[in-house]
Each structure stands twice: as C-alpha cells, then as structure tokens.
C-alpha cells in the first residue's frame, strides 16, 4: 500500500515504499506518483524489481497507460532500469532526465523505443507542467550523480530529493515520516559521506533549498522528513564533509 503524502483539490502525491523490499541484497527504494486532475506522472519508477508491483499498486489511483511523464533524478538502475517496460505501457509518455544521460538511457530499452520520447533537462533545470500544476526540476548535480535533478512540487510543497536525504531502513519504516533529525542521522550518515561528492556541493544546495517553502523532503530511499526535520536536515547536510573531501592517498592504493 502506498502512503498518500498529499491530497487536496484534485492534486495528490503517493509514495510506494515496499515494492521491492526483499531484505538483504536489495536496497529499499521509493517510487512516486503525482496526479493532477486527469494527468499523472511518475518519479523515479525504479528497476525491473519494482515494475510489476508499481504497475498493479498504481491502478487504484491512476491508469498507468495514461501517464504522460516519467521523471528520473538520474540514470541509476534503481531509478530507471524499468524504462523499457514503461515505454511500452505508456504509448507516448516522455521521460525527463538530465541532458548528460539523454543518450545513455536508451541503453535500458530495445532499439528505437525511446525515439522522440526523451527530454534532456538542461543543467540549469526547468519547469514542467503536470496537468494544471507543475514540477520544478531543480539542479542537484553531484548529489550523487554528475547530472542529477530533484523535483519540487509547488502545490504540495514537497521536494523529491532523489538520493539526498536517503536513509537505510525497511519498506515499512520508510512509511513513517521523521519529524526530528537527531535520532535519524545514524541511518543517513555513512551513505551521505560516501555517495555525496563534496561539501561544496551540499553548501550550494542548502543555499538554494532555503529559498523554497518546503513542507516535506522525500528521498528515494528511506523515510520522508517533515516539520522541524526539514530545516534540521538542510543545516546538517550543509556542514557534512563527504566524498572527495574525505578521500586520501590511502584510498587509492593498489590492492595487495
Ligand atoms: Fe543513484
């Protein structure tokens, strides 16, 4: 069962947390459905593990064949490896992904399947209509992918952050929004130290994020953050050393 993150006046956001929660060898991940009136879009629909379950679970809220847009934060397997099947399911949905990956994602598909259906998002980001609402593709490069976007929904004031804000929890625990950051940091820290590229990037992001009214930060792995946890997360991530900040000679030694 998905959780309803928002539902008001014909605009709703759903989060699926437990579609490929097999424990152990697969990282828990979230998929998202945005419905505005009679228009539907998905964000980070996942890989082949999630496809059938997401398709079925979604039918209660929106007919999957009628989706008009597929948003991908970046090009990793848990984000978009199911693209071939979504291209078939939806006759004409466009896939929005960084221009850096525009010519890479066709590798997930059978020849010709993506022709004319990939929209490369420029580095500066863009605004994309979803029914009468819009999603803002926000630059989030190097967090962690080189060409990376987050999706901000001004109607629900939800920021879908992709890998930023990810926590390592079970599909069930991912359903429970975190309202205070302190106890949550241990579930996020190791991931961010290794998967985020540098503190400079995190500081630039924090500056941008503070300019937006954000009610909820919803990552692609783990639990959403809301209430006080939103600003606490921005402050925490802003000061976190990570990625190249922590790399040294010892990390580039030829294995014995
Ligand atoms: Fe990734």
Collapsed DSSP state (helix, strand, coil) of residue 215: coil
Q: What is the DSSP letter of 143?
A: S
59 CB-near residues (< 8 Å, 6+ apart): none
Band of residue 49 on the pLDDT scale cut at 50, 70, 90: confident
From 203, 214, 186, 184, select the one nearest 242 (Cα to Cα).
203
Tell me, what's the pLDDT at 128?
98
How far is ligand 1, taken at its centre, from the CA of residue 8, in Å?
A: 31
Q: What is the pLDDT of residues 55-79, one digit of tens each?
A: 999 999 999 999 999 999 999 999 9
CA distance 177 to 108: 33
How far is ligand 1, taken at its centre, from the CA of residue 37, in Å?
A: 31
pTM of structure? 0.97
How far is ligand 1, taken at its centre, from the CA of residue 143, in Å?
A: 9
Q: What is the DSSP letter of 200?
A: H
- Residue 24: exposure state from Cβ atoms within 10 A (0-12, 13-18, ≥19): exposed
For residue 239, say if its preceding peptide bond is cis, omega within 30 degrees of 0: no
Strand pairing report for 133-139 and 149-153: antiparallel
How far is ligand 1, taken at its centre, from the CA of residue 10, in Å?
A: 31
Instruction: Give 254's Cβ-side CA count (13 Å radius).
Output: 0
Collapsed DSSP state (helix, strand, coil) of residue 88: helix
Q: What is the pLDDT of residues 110-156, one digit of tens each?
A: 999 999 999 999 999 999 999 999 999 999 999 999 999 999 999 99
How far is ligand 1, taken at its centre, from the CA of residue 9, in Å?
A: 33
How far is ligand 1, taken at its centre, from the CA of residue 38, in Å?
A: 30
Tell me, what's the pLDDT at 21?
62
For the chain, domains (ranges, CATH) are 3-246 (3.60.15.10)
- The mean pLDDT of 152-167, rounded to a whole number, is 98
Q: Is the pLDDT reported for residue 23 higher than 80?
A: no
Q: What is the pLDDT of residues 186-235, one digit of tens each?
A: 999 999 999 999 999 999 999 999 999 999 999 999 999 999 999 999 99
Three-state SS letters, 169-185: CCCCHHHCCECCCHHHH
How far is ligand 1, taken at its centre, from the CA of residue 241, in Å?
A: 19
CA distance 21 to 11: 28
Tell me, what's the pLDDT at 91?
87
Tell me, what's the pLDDT at 167?
97
From 191, 91, 96, 180, select the one nearest 135 (Cα to Cα).
96
How far is ligand 1, taken at its centre, from the CA of residue 73, in Å?
A: 8
How far is ligand 1, taken at its centre, from the CA of residue 92, in Å?
A: 26
- The mean pLDDT of 143-170, rounded to a whole number, is 97
Q: Is residue 35 within a helix (H) or strand (E), and if so which, with residue range?
A: strand 31-36
């Amino acid at each position: 069962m998905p959780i309803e993150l928002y539902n008001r006046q014909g605009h709703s956001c759903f989060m699926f947390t437990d579609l490929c929660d097999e424990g152990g060898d697969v990282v828990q991940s979230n998929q998202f459905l945005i419905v505005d009136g009679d228009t539907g879009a998905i964000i980070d629909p996942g890989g082949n593990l999630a496809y059938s379950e997401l398709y079925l679970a979604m039918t209660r809220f929106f007919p999957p064949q009628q989706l008009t847009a597929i948003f991908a934060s970046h090009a990793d397997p848990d984000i978009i490896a199911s693209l071939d099947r979504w291209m078939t399911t939806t006759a004409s949905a466009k896939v929005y992904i960084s221009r850096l990956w525009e010519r890479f994602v066709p590798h997930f598909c059978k020849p010709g399947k993506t022709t004319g259906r990939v929209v490369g998002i420029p580095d500066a980001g863009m605004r994309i209509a979803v029914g009468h609402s819009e999603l803002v593709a926000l630059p989030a490069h190097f967090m962690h992918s080189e060409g990376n976007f987050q999706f901000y929904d001004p109607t629900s004031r939800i920021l879908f952050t992709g890998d930023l804000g990810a926590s390592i929890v079970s599909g069930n625990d991912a359903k429970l929004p975190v309202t205070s950051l302190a106890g949550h940091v241990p579930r996020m820290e190791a991931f961010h130290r290794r998967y985020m590229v540098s503190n400079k990037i995190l500081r630039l992001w924090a500056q941008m994020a503070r300019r937006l009214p954000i009610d909820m930060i919803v990552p692609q792995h783990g639990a959403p953050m809301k209430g006080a946890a939103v600003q606490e997360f921005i402050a925490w991530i802003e000061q976190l050393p990570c990625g190249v900040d922590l790399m040294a000679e010892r990390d580039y030694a030829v294995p014995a």
